[in-house]
């Protein structure tokens, strides 16, 4: 509970919501509130299911490492061409057929290759996200917390890494070792900069708060203050930025593979599949559609999840929620709905919609809401 109060204390108008409704004073932790809001965001929830489905499909279909999957072909096998390699997928009545996504010029099964590509892309995405988040948080947190010389050195270092193009790192990896893991690690090592800047900004303001002073008075060590007191308050920024990092990572990886600097033969990735097959667009368009579709789906779902998370963590929303909830006091379960209808930004904006003026004319809550916003 204290965390929430702290969190909203300096946001203009973003007053703590929960204590104002007596029947809801039963404390909710920040995690619970965030979860509730997140699950109210239809786009994000649907995206999460779709992403999970893609992940599950790509892993189970061709298996992972030594574990075999349920699909009969591997991405390296070259079964004989059937019917010119046309896709056999049928939606109605649903049947996969022999080669649901078709075959390429030499007969390799496109479904297996796409699944392998999706696996690689998801793997790269997760590793890049994890590494970049870890490095970015560490550097940003130390710079923001210790300030002074530490900050100067760390932030100049960040500025330096920002202007190093990711292509270079990838080119080195493409030479040094041919593997997605190393590529992902190197990409992660050049893409943490935005995260570091954001976390530093958050830490700079959070370290001046009373609860940090209180913790220090109580004898907490620097490490404890950083990890137990400040970091949990910055978790919103970190989570949201990690999703953005991940969606950027998947596009970078596919772009690198497309220009021949990413995943190398014999392994494959979604970007490489498109690159290999773009010349055959007029003769075998399916070779081109499926990998592209998978990239778009993965990236789109990640972006929507990020949007949902941003809504869920954004403290400015609470103001809007109060009003909406008060308009329908008999339906408390609607609390999640405004969050769901809210794209990322702008709690304060409720003033702009004509709804605000109408509210003043016919206050559904007997004018109660106005007192609260002024209190």
Partner 1 sequence: MLTYITRRVLASLLILLGASFIVYMLVAYSGDPLQDIRSSNLPGKEARMAARTEALHLDVPPALRYFIWLGGAVKCVVPFVGQCDLGVTLQNQPVTVALSAAIPTTLQLVTTAAILAITIGISIGIVTALRQYSTLDYSVTFVTFLFFSLPIFWVAVLLKEFGAIKFNTFLYDPFIPNSTILLVSVVAGLLWAVILSGSWKRRAITFVAAFAVTAGIVYFLSVTRWFSSPSLGIAVILVTGVAIAYGSTVLFAGLRNRRALYSSLIMVGLGGVAYYALQPLFDRATLWLIVGLGVAAIAAGWLVGRFMGGYDHQQSSRAAMLTSFGVASLVLLDQFMRNWERYASDPHIRNRPIATIGAETPGLNGDFWITGIDKYTHLVLPTIALILISLASYTRYSRASMLEVMGQDYVRTGRAKGLSERVVVTRHAFRNALIPLATIVAIDIGALIGGAVITESVFSFKGMGVLFLTGVKEHSPNPVMGVFLVTGITAVVFNLIADLGYSALDPRVRVKA
The residues binding partner 1 (CB under 8 A) are: 156, 159-165, 167-169, 171-172, 174-176, 247, 251, 254-255, 258-261, 271, 274-275, 278, 281-282, 288, 292, 295-296, 299-300, 302-304, 307, 341, 343-353
Closer to partner 1 by Cβ: residue 5 or 160: 160
CB of 272 vs partner 1, minimal distance in Å:
11
Report CA Rg, the chain. 25
Closer to partner 1 by Cβ: residue 73 or 258: 258
CB of 48 vs partner 1, minimal distance in Å:
15
DSSP H stretches of helix in 163-234: 166-176, 180-190, 193-206, 210-217, 222-224
CB of 72 vs partner 1, minimal distance in Å:
29
The answer to whether the CB of 118 falls within 8 A of the CB of 180 is: no
Closer to partner 1 by Cβ: residue 227 or 281: 281
Task: Give yes or no for a cis peptide into 266 (omega within 30° of 0).
Answer: yes
CA-to-CA distance for 267 and 279, rounded, in angstroms?
20
Query: What's the token pair of residue 88?
Result: 């056999």
Closer to partner 1 by Cβ: residue 95 or 349: 349
CA-to-CA distance for 225 and 153, rounded, in angstroms?
22
Closer to partner 1 by Cβ: residue 58 or 252: 252
Closer to partner 1 by Cβ: residue 329 or 355: 355
CA-to-CA distance for 374 and 322, rounded, in angstroms?
13
**Whole-number Cα distances in Å, 190 to 3, 66, 144, 205, 260:** 33, 31, 20, 26, 19
CB of 172 vs partner 1, minimal distance in Å:
4
103: phi then psi, degrees, rounded to nearest 5: -130, 155
Which string of DSSP letters, residue by residue, matches 84-105?
GG----BTTTTB--S-TT-B-T
CB of 67 vs partner 1, minimal distance in Å:
30
Cβ neighbour number for residue 118 with a 10 Å cutoff: 26
CB of 163 vs partner 1, minimal distance in Å:
5
CB of 125 vs partner 1, minimal distance in Å:
13
Closer to partner 1 by Cβ: residue 59 or 255: 255
């Amino acid at each position: 509970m204290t965390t929430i109060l702290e969190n909203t204390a300096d946001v203009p108008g973003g007053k703590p919501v929960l204590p104002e409704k007596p029947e809801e004073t039963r404390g909710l932790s920040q995690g619970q509130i965030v979860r509730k809001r997140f699950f109210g965001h239809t786009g994000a929830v649907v995206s999460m299911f779709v992403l999970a489905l893609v992940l599950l499909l790509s892993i189970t279909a061709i298996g992972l490492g030594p574990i075999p999957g349920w699909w009969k072909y591997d991405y390296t096998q070259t079964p004989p061409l059937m019917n010119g390699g046309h896709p056999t997928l049928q939606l109605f009545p649903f049947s996969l057929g022999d080669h649901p996504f078709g075959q390429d010029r030499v007969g390799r099964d496109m479904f297996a290759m796409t699944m392998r590509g999706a696996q690689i892309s998801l793997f790269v995405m997760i590793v890049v996200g994890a590494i970049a988040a870890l490095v970015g948080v560490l550097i940003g947190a130390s710079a923001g917390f210790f300030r002074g010389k530490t900050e100067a050195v760390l932030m100049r270092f960040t500025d330096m890494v920002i202007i190093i193009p990711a292509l270079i790192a990838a080119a080195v990896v493409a030479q040094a070792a041919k593997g997605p893991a190393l590529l992902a690690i190197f990409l992660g090592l050049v893409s943490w900069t935005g995260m570091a800047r954001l976390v530093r900004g958050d830490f700079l303001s959070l370290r001046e708060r009373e609860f940090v002073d209180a913790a220090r008075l109580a004898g907490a060590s620097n490490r404890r203050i950083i990890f137990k007191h400040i970091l949990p308050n910055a978790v919103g920024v970190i989570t949201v930025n990690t999703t953005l990092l991940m969606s950027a990572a998947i596009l970078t990886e596919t772009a690198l593979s497309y220009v021949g600097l990413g995943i190398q033969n014999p392994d494959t990735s979604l970007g490489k599949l498109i690159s290999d097959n773009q010349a055959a667009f007029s003769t075998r368009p399916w070779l081109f559609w499926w990998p592209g579709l998978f990239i778009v789906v993965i990236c789109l779902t990640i972006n929507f999840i990020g949007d949902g998370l941003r809504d869920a963590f954004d403290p400015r929303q609470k103001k809007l929620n109060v009003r909406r909830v008060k308009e329908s006091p008999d339906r408390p379960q609607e609390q999640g709905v405004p969050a769901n209808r809210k794209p990322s930004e702008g709690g304060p904006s409720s003033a702009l919609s004509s709804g605000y003026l109408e509210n003043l004319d016919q206050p559904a809550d007997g004018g109660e809401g106005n007192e609260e916003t002024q209190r």
